[in-house]
Amino acid sequence: MKEVVCDEIRRFVLEEAGNLFPEAGTPYFDAPLIGFAAADDALFSEYKSVIGEFHLTPAELTAQTEGGDGWRPRTVICWALPIALEIRESNRGETLYPSRAWAHTRSHGESFNGSLRRHLAAYLSNAGYHAFAPQFHPVWREYPETPVGPASSWSERHAAYAAGLGTFSLNDALITPGGIAHRLGSVITDLQLAPSPRPYRNHTSNCLFHREGTCGVCIDRCPVGAISKNGHDKRICRDHVYGTIPKAMGEAYNVPALGCGLCQTKVPCESCIPQGKIAG
Ligand code: SF4
Ligand code: SF4
């Protein structure tokens, strides 16, 4: 069943028109990376101390779905959609705000990612399983001010880490074998699938700064000083991404959210786990 699920996710990404720029017909995303976490993995409880009590476990989310007292979640299916080369290239030359193609991927590509969440949940339901996307759960909330900065009831990054897709980086993203420039998604289901291994030395080992104290290229890529050797300041980042100028640029680009992603392009981890002196 695992291959069936992977095939369906791949098919949707590679064949659906929603993954294409309407004018150019080129894709937002390349073939997905897919991983599986056990819904009762202890990590999901640990995230309450790492992120906050407001971060919900798969069991808590399931219990609050309609009829959720009648089933137990078994698996969290996660994916990373790597942003296509042409879009990454267009963002490499930017120094303050993202390229038009990047902004469109942030908005319309993410809408497609939402379609994938809905599609997979419906696909599993049609196959006789319970399934839902945490991102669209009625209790999902954004929390703009928390001790760890802006956060929400469900972190796609932390779910992806649990599913073995990558490790965290200095700039607060997730470095997968396909790099750091991607969009993430997940679906919780009672279909039991074997969890993916987490083949990394620790939870930050794909980042050169964390692995061997080198790199730090993302620090200089950030136009507003939101990244330092101490990590990523989510509030400074948010103020840059959602300020008045980005709002006006978003309107000019005809997108609801501009995004940024400068620290995810023209960096050694853009499209791979960077090699350094020390093996990852
Ligand atoms: S650019 Fe370097 S320091 Fe920054 S996240 Fe990537 S590997 Fe880590
Ligand atoms: S940290 Fe935020 S503001 Fe800075 S480059 Fe990355 S996305 Fe842009």
pLDDT tens, residue by residue, 236-270: 999 998 878 888 888 888 898 888 999 999 999 99
Nearest CA to ligand 1 atom 6: 269
How much is the pLDDT for 66? Answer: 80
Closest Cα to atom 4 of ligand 2: 222
Q: What is the mean pLDDT of the chain?
A: 95
**C-beta of residue 219 within 8 angstroms of C-beta of residue 229:** yes
Q: Which residues pair with 76 in a beta bridge?
A: 37, 188
Instruction: Report which ligand 1 atom has the smallest distance to the Cα of 215.
Output: 2
- For the chain, what is the largest distance between any 2 Cα atoms, rounded to a whole number of angstroms? 52
Atom 5 (ligand 2): residue with closest C-alpha?
222
pLDDT given at position 175: 98
Protein residue whose Cα sits closest to atom 8 of ligand 2 = 260
Sign of CA dihedral 238, 239, 244, 248: negative
pLDDT of residue 242: 87
Mean pLDDT computed over 180-186 = 98
Type and span of the H or E element at 45:
helix 42-50
For residue 278, the CA-to-ligand 1 centroid distance in Å is 14
Whether 88 has a pLDDT exceeding 70, the answer reads yes
pTM (two decimals) = 0.95
Is the beta carbon of 260 within 6 A of some atom in ligand 2? yes
185: left (phi over 0), alpha (psi -120 to 50) or beta: beta
The predicted structure's pLDDT at residue 193 = 98
Euclidean distance between CA atoms 79 and 174, whole angstroms: 12
Residue nearest to atom 2 of ligand 2 (CA): 237
What's the confidence (pLDDT) of residue 67? Answer: 75
% of the chain residues with pLDDT over 70? 99
Indicate whether 280 pLDDT > 70: no
Summarize the confidence of residues 187-196 as an average pLDDT: 98
Beta-carbon contacts of residue 251 (< 8 Å; ≥ 6 apart): none
- Predicted local confidence at residue 65, as pLDDT: 87
Contacts of residue 186, defined as CB under 8 A and 6 or more positions apart, other chains included, come to 76, 77, 78, 79, 117, 133, 134, 135, 154, 156, 159, 160, 163
pLDDT at residue number 157: 98
What is the pLDDT averaged over residues 49-58? 96
Ligand lying nearest the CA atom of residue 95? 2
d(CA 219, CA 261): 12
59 lines ligand 2 (CB under 6 A): no
C-alpha distances in angstroms, 144 versus 28, 67, 141?
Answer: 28, 30, 10
Residue 279 in this model has a pLDDT that exceeds 80: no
pLDDT beyond 70 at 79 = yes
> Could you give the CA distance from residue 187 to residue 203 in angstroms, rounded to a whole number?
22
221 within ligand 2 shell (Cβ under 6 A): yes
For the chain, state the CA radius of gyration: 18
Cα separation, 135 vs 152, whole angstroms: 9
Q: Is 117 in the pocket of ligand 2 (CB under 6 A)?
A: no
For ligand 1, what atom is nearest to the CA of residue 217?
Answer: 1
Closest by CA to 37, choosing from 29, 27, 45, is: 45
Dihedral angle, C-alpha 220, 222, 228, 231, nearest 10 °: -130
The residue whose CB lies within 8 Å of the most ligand 2 atoms, and thus the one to mutate among 94, 207, 232, 237, is 237
pLDDT digits (tens, 9 = 90+) for 140-153: 999 988 998 889 99
Residues 119-145: pLDDT tens digits?
999 999 999 999 999 999 999 999 988
Name, in order, each residue with C-beta under 8 angstroms of 7's C-beta and a sequence gap of 6 or more.
Answer: none
Closest ligand 1 atom to 263 CA: 1
**Average pLDDT of span 86-110:** 96
Per-residue pLDDT at 49 exceeds 90 = yes
267 C-beta closer than 6 A to ligand 2:
no
Spatial distance between the Cα atoms of 261 and 237, rounded to a whole number of angstroms: 10
- Ligand 1 cavity residues, CB under 6 Å: 169-171, 207-209, 215-218, 267-269, 274
